[in-house]
């Protein structure tokens, strides 16, 4: 009997336990549903019963609502009821959205998820409301987006984003007349070297601030590269005078009155809004390049001739290598004549025999070649031709004649002049005094001490140094006290380009007398009339060169003209071509 009683008791107890477990399991279905979510510290998790009672809130949720115990869940329930009234989000099983809530007076972004919790029979037993704070993530995203589209130093659009926004603006509003502006701070690297990068950055920020100040409708700004800024602005809002005045103020950022900060502004008038904004900017920048060296101009407007010049320069550069390899550059000679009519030699001048364009004069290509540094190769080519010709003359018994060759400013920096000229003399077995070295005073204005040392060594070897274009620069007299040149060359333009010829003649006479006193021979270029020749002879000039005697002519023509029995008579007669 006792055994039966015990067995029945166990059966009844087991049944009761099963019922309890079933009831508990049913009530705790909400906990089972959210168990995995509670572990996430970034989420505020709330569990609500069907009647809106808060059954559970994790630590993050309690912190958000400043709840310390279950007795304070009323704050959470009030928030939940208010949300239900405003949103009515109770139909969908799971809903997600983004929302901004004020937390401690600060607006914060949350990713919200609301879902129904159901038992195994599909009946709703409660709701889970999850808030994930995404404020920091959104802030980081915005910072990354900002850095991807803006320049860190100035806060302006970066290059890529500026052109993107410019294209959008022009597409959406093609009827407004606009300018594309390019500004360039000249020699910013030099500013950094002289005054420090902090000063350079200060100038860049100030330049950016000036541009952003012009914040008109449909006006955008950007920093395109280190010292170049761009602005797309309605034509009616741009003032060249104001732009010049504003950029001049940047000079005060440099605490050195001896350094002149130069800022150039290129302006391109947009005629085709569908044109690539990068092309527009390049043309505004081209306007700056076109006036390089003219310090009087701050604002320069683009015109089609600049593009033509650019294409011309590109053509010269592209064809130069082939031209020099195929000996398209010719040496022309212009005779130099003594006061008594004797031929003393000639100046070597270059001409380009282009297969399509014919004979091209230096004015059409020398500047381009000098700018790109190709002048060094051309100069060496011409020096070689001159040495070869002197060798040929020597073989004909005419080693009494000389040829003057030009040395460019860049040659002093990128060529070993002493080695090159001494090797030419040795290679062709000519006298160094027959190969005269002609330099301009402007070529000596920088690094004077080093250049003079090079020229001094060449003179010691036997070369004669000629100073060309004397009087065209600003350091003439100062240079003469330092350099011991053998020849001074004066251009007759010195006389022609003035209304007061008597004053010019007085100065010219003084220069010739001074040169003689310094032991220098004087050559006058550009002699065109018999009256000029007579005047210069009277002043004591030694050698003459100009169209009165001959224009520059090919070597063969020069030799045919002057290497005959009547050579002296022809020169004295001053017969012209």
Task: Read off the CATH number of the domain in which 42 is found.
Answer: 3.30.450.20
The three-state secondary structure class of 357 is coil
- Residue 225 sits in the same domain as residue 270: yes
How many structural domains is the chain composed of?
Answer: 3
Tell me whether strands 299-301 and 435-440 are parallel, antiparallel or unpaired: unpaired
Give the end of a domain, one of 74, 109, 138.
Answer: 138
Instruction: Tell whether 186 is covered by a domain.
Output: yes
Q: Which residues pair with residue 178 across a beta bridge?
A: 234
- 136-150, 189-203, 207-221, 389-403: range with highest mean pLDDT: 389-403
Measured CA to CA, the distance from residue 361 to residue 447 in angstroms comes to 31
Q: Tell me: pLDDT of 350 over 90.
A: yes
Return the pLDDT at 252.
82
Structure confidence at residue 447 (pLDDT): 66
Cβ-based neighbour number of residue 129 at 10 Å: 21
Query: Cα–Cα distance between 522 and 477 in angstroms, integer?
Result: 15
Q: Does some domain include residue 270? A: yes
pLDDT in tens, 357-386: 999 999 999 989 988 889 999 999 999 999
Residue 533, exposed/middle/buried by CB under 10 A (0-12, 13-18, 19+)? buried
Domain-located, residue 308 = no
Position 496 scores a pLDDT of 65
Q: Is residue 533 part of a domain?
A: yes
Q: Which of 19-33, 322-336, 361-375, 446-460 has the lowest mean pLDDT?
A: 19-33
Please report the pLDDT score of residue 547 as a whole number: 93
Confidence of residue 297 (pLDDT cuts 50, 70, 90): confident
Element (H, E) at 26: helix 2-27
CA dist 533 → 326, 497, 524, 576 (Å): 40, 18, 9, 14
Question: What's the pLDDT tens digit per position in 472-483?
Answer: 654 466 667 777
Region of 525 please: left (phi>0), alpha (psi -120 to 50) or beta: beta
Asked if residue 272 and residue 159 are part of one domain, the reply reads yes
- Residue 452: the pLDDT is 83
Which conformational region is residue 381 in: left (phi greater than 0), alpha (psi within -120 to 50 degrees), or beta?
A: alpha
Identify whether residues 341 and 452 lie together within a single domain. Answer: yes
Which of these ranges, 28-42, 200-214, 362-376, 415-429, has the smallest mean pLDDT? 28-42
Is residue 410 domain-resident? yes
Q: What is the per-residue pLDDT for 317?
A: 93
Do 335 and 472 sit in the same domain of this protein? yes
Q: Give the tens place of pLDDT for each residue, 137-155.
A: 888 887 777 778 999 899 9
Final residue of a structural domain among 259, 277, 302: 302
Nearest alpha-carbon partner for 306 in 288, 280, 287 = 287
Please indicate whether residue 163 or residue 261 has the higher confidence score (pLDDT): 163
402 in a domain, yes or no? Answer: yes
Using the Cα atoms of residue 85, residue 91, residue 92 and residue 93 in order, give the sign of their dihedral.
Answer: positive
Using a pLDDT cut of 90, give the percent of the chain over it.
Answer: 38
Helices 304-325 & 277-290 angle (0-180, nearest 10): 80
pTM: 0.62
DSSP state of 71: G
Q: Judge if 129 and 176 occupy the same domain.
A: no
- Tell me, what's the pLDDT at 573? 43
- Note whether 161 and 277 are same-domain residues: yes
Q: Decide if pLDDT at 8 tops 70.
A: no
Burial classification of residue 406, based on how many CB atoms lie within 10 Å of its CB (0-12 exposed, 13-18 middle, 19 or more buried): buried
* Residue with more model confidence, 72 or 556: 556
Residue among 433, 453, 452, 447 nearest 521 (CA): 433
Residue 525 pairs with which residues in a beta bridge?
491
536-548 confidence digits (pLDDT tens): 898 889 899 999 9
Measure the CA–CA gap between 350 and 332, rounded to whole angstroms: 6
CATH code of residue 401:
3.20.20.450
Each residue's pLDDT tens digit, 236-259: 999 988 888 888 888 888 877 667
Entry field: residues in the chain = 577
Residues 267 and 362 in one domain: no
Q: Which domain holds residue 333?
A: 317-565
Task: Say which CATH number the domain at 199 has.
Answer: 3.30.70.270
Average pLDDT over residues 397-409: 93
Torsion on CA atoms 171, 172, 177, 183, rounded to nearest 10: -70
DSSP β-bridge partners for residue 336: 345
- Do 233 and 326 fall into the same domain? no
Pairing of strands 54-57, 43-48: antiparallel
Predicted local distance difference test score (pLDDT) of residue 270 = 94
In DSSP terms, 347 is beta-bridged to 334, 404
pLDDT of residue 421: 97
What is the rounded CA–CA span in Å between residue 220 and residue 456? 57
Q: Which DSSP symbol is given to 445?
A: S
**Helix, strand and coil in the chain, % to nearest 5:** 50, 25, 30
Over the stretch 14-63, which tens digit does the pLDDT of each residue have? 444 444 444 444 445 444 544 444 545 578 888 988 888 888 888 888 88
Condensed to tens digits (0 to 9), the pLDDT of residues 180-196 reads: 999 998 888 888 888 88
Is 90's pLDDT higher than 60?
Answer: no
| 288 and 337 both lie in a single domain | no
Q: Specify the 3-state DSSP secondary structure of 80.
A: helix
Q: Final residue of a domain: which of 110, 138, 166?
A: 138
Is residue 277's pLDDT more than 50?
yes
């Amino acid at each position: 009997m006792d055994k039966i009683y015990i067995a029945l008791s166990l059966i009844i107890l087991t049944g009761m336990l099963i019922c309890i477990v079933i009831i508990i399991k049913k009530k705790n279905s909400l906990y089972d549903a959210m168990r995995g979510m509670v572990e996430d510290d970034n989420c505020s998790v709330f569990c609500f019963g069907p009647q809106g009672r808060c059954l559970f809130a994790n630590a993050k949720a309690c912190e958000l609502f400043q709840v310390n115990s279950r007795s304070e869940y009323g704050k959470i329930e009030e928030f939940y009821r208010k949300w239900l009234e405003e949103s009515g989000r109770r139909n969908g099983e799971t809903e997600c959205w983004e929302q901004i809530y004020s937390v401690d007076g600060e607006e914060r972004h949350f990713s919200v998820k609301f879902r129904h919790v159901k038992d195994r029979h599909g009946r709703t037993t409660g709701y889970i409301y999850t808030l994930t704070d995404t404020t920091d993530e959104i802030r980081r995203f915005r910072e990354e987006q900002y850095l991807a589209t803006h320049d860190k130093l100035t806060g302006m659009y970066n290059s890529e984003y500026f052109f993107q926004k410019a294209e959008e603006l022009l597409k959406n509003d093609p009827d407004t007349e606009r300018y594309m502006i390019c500004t360039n701070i000249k020699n910013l690297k030099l500013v950094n070297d002289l005054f420090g990068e902090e000063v350079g950055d200060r100038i860049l920020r100030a330049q950016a601030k000036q541009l952003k100040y012009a914040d008109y409708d449909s006006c955008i700004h950007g920093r395109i590269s280190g010292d170049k800024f761009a602005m797309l602005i309605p034509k009616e809002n741009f003032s060249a005078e104001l732009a010049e005045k504003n950029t001049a103020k940047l000079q005060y950022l440099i605490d050195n009155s001896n350094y002149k900060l130069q800022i150039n502004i290129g302006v391109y008038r947009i005629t085709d809004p569908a044109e690539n904004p990068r092309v527009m900017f390049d043309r505004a920048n081209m306007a700056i390049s076109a006036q390089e060296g003219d310090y009087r101009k701050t604002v320069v407007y683009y015109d089609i001739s600049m593009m033509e010049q650019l294409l011309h320069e590109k053509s010269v550069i592209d064809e130069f290598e082939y031209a020099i390899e195929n000996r398209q550059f010719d040496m022309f000679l212009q005779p130099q004549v003594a006061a008594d009519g004797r031929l003393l030699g000639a100046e070597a001048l270059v001409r380009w025999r282009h297969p399509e364009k014919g004979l091209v004069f230096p004015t059409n290509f020398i500047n381009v070649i000098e700018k790109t540094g190709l002048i060094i190769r051309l100069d060496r080519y011409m020096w070689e031709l001159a040495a070869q010709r002197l060798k040929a003359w020597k073989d004909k018994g005419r080693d009494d004649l000389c040829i003057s060759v030009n040395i460019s400013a860049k040659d002093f920096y990128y060529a070993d002049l002493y080695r090159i000229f001494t090797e030419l003399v040795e290679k062709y077995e000519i006298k160094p005094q027959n190969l005269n070295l002609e330099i301009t005073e402007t070529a000596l204005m920088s690094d004077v001490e080093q250049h003079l040392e090079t020229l001094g060594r060449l003179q010691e070897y036997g070369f004669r140094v000629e100073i060309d274009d004397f009087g065209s620069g600003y350091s003439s007299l100062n240079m003469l006290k330092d350099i011991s040149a053998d020849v001074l060359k004066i251009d007759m333009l010195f006389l022609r380009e003035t209304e007061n010829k008597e004053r010019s003649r007085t100065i010219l006479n003084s220069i010739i007398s001074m040169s003689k006193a310094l032991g220098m021979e004087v050559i006058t270029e550009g002699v065109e009339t018999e009256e000029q020749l007579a005047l210069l002879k009277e002043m004591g000039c030694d050698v003459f060169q100009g169209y009165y005697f001959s224009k520059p002519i090919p070597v063969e023509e020069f030799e045919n003209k002057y290497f005959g029995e009547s050579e002296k008579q022809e020169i004295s007669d001053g017969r012209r071509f």
